[in-house]
């Protein structure tokens, strides 16, 4: 996958075309923005962490039945993905009240909901990503009713799976934002990224914030939080490595027996 040209430079990633029209390369930057780009900065090493974390989590989700754009990690910051036409919706799932929900509805941050709650925002920087409901999304023809139902189902499934992964690592998944896209045949898949830029992740014991809120709110220790939360996740990577190693050993011993 050598030939590429820059198609789009976003706030956190660059997107390159490849010689295959159905595949793209995304490259994760250390640039950080908040409040629709009003606040700008750099989080050293973020691109590498977000790339690797997103890939680990997407690979895991894919194995558990959620179709994703992930194809293959190419480098510390670069990943090959299936090209999709992005559904211009920010799909947000919340387990505990935080951020804009707490502000909008006057609910204390950290209040747990009886069941996860979902909201859509219109992915449109000029309009400031306004909140919208299913009827608005259908009226604006952002997605069909059937697509909205599918996206909603996937979003809750992703929440169940991610919540469990993080709970096993002593981390509370407070909320997150995902994006979906359409493959050329219309199949809806999970796209974009899953990282501390797009999830609120709190230490389960201390409730310390281990995500982009440290940058948004000038809490300090931003790089350290990204590094620590990634370290927690690589324990999960260990499981996968052990599984891979076992498979390899079995294959080698089968081959040795065949040769004998």
Among the residue ranges 76-84, 94-102, 224-232, 245-253, the one whose residues contact ligand ADP (CB under 6 A): 76-84
Neighbours of 218 (CB within 10 A): 9
* Residue ranges in 200-259 that form contacts with ligand AIR under rule CB under 6 A: 200, 212
10 binds, among ligand AIR, ligand ADP, ligand ASP, none (CB under 5 to 8 A by kind): ligand ADP
What are the C-alpha distances in Å from 145 to residues 59, 68, 123, 138? 28, 21, 18, 7
Residue 175 binds ligand AIR, judged by CB under 6 A:
yes
36 binds, among ligand AIR, ligand ADP, ligand ASP, none (CB under 5 to 8 A by kind): ligand ASP
Give yes or no for a contact between 170 and 232, defined as CB atoms under 8 angstroms apart.
yes
Residue 92 binds ligand AIR, judged by CB under 6 A:
yes
Nearer to ligand ASP, 33 or 234 (CB): 33
Instruction: Choose, by CB under 6 A, the member of 16, 18, 23, 24 that binds ligand ADP.
Output: 24
Q: Which of 95, 86, 74, 96 is closest to 26 using CA atoms?
A: 74
Rounded to a whole number of angstroms, the minimum distance from the CB of residue 107 to ligand AIR is: 11
Nearer to ligand AIR, 112 or 241 (CB): 112
Residue span 115-154 as binding mask against ligand ADP, x where in contact by CB under 6 A, dash where not: ----------------------------------------
Give yes or no for a contact between 77 and 104, defined as CB atoms under 8 angstroms apart.
no
Instruction: Choose, by CB under 6 A, the member of 84, 158, 161, 201 that binds ligand ADP.
Output: 84
Nearest-CB residue to ligand ASP?
A: 33
Nearer to ligand ASP, 18 or 198 (CB): 198
Nearest-CB residue to ligand AIR?
A: 99
Positions touching ligand ASP (CB under 6 A) are: 11, 33-37, 212, 216
Rounded to a whole number of angstroms, the minimum distance from the CB of residue 35 to ligand ASP is: 5
* Residue ranges in 183-222 that form contacts with ligand ADP under rule CB under 6 A: 191-192
Residue 15 binds ligand ADP, judged by CB under 6 A:
yes
Cα–Cα distance measured from residue 131 to residue 18, given in angstroms and rounded to the nearest whole number: 34
Among the residue ranges 6-14, 134-142, 206-214, 237-245, the one whose residues contact ligand ADP (CB under 6 A): 6-14
Rounded to a whole number of angstroms, the minimum distance from the CB of residue 87 to ligand AIR is: 15
């Amino acid at each position: 996958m050598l030939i590429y040209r820059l198609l789009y430079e976003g706030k956190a990633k660059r997107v390159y075309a490849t010689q295959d029209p159905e595949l793209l390369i995304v490259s994760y930057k250390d640039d950080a923005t908040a409040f629709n780009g009003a606040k700008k900065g750099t989080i050293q090493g973020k691109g590498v962490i977000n790339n690797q974390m997103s890939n680990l989590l997407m690979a895991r989700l894919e194995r558990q039945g959620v179709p994703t754009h992930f194809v293959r990690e190419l480098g510390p910051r670069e990943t090959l993905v299936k090209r999709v036409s992005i559904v211009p919706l920010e799909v947000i799932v919340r387990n505990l009240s935080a951020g804009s929900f707490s502000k909008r509805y006057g609910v204390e941050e950290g209040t747990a909901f009886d069941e996860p709650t979902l909201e859509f925002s219109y992915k449109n920087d000029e309009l400031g990503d306004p909140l919208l409901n299913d009827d608005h999304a259908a009226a604006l023809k952002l997605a069909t009713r059937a697509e909205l139902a599918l996206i909603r189902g996937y979003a809750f499934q992703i929440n169940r799976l991610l919540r469990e992964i993080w709970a096993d690592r002593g981390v509370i998944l407070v909320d997150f934002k995902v994006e979906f896209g359409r493959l050329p045949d219309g199949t809806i898949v999970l796209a974009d990224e899953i990282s501390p830029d797009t999830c609120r992740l709190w230490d389960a014991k201390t409730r310390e914030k281990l995500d982009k809120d440290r940058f948004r709110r000038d809490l300090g220790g931003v790089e350290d939080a990204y590094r620590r939360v990634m370290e927690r996740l690589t324990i999960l990577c260990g499981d996968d490595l052990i599984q891979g190693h076992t498979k390899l050993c079995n294959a080698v011993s089968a081959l040795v027996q065949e040769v004998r």
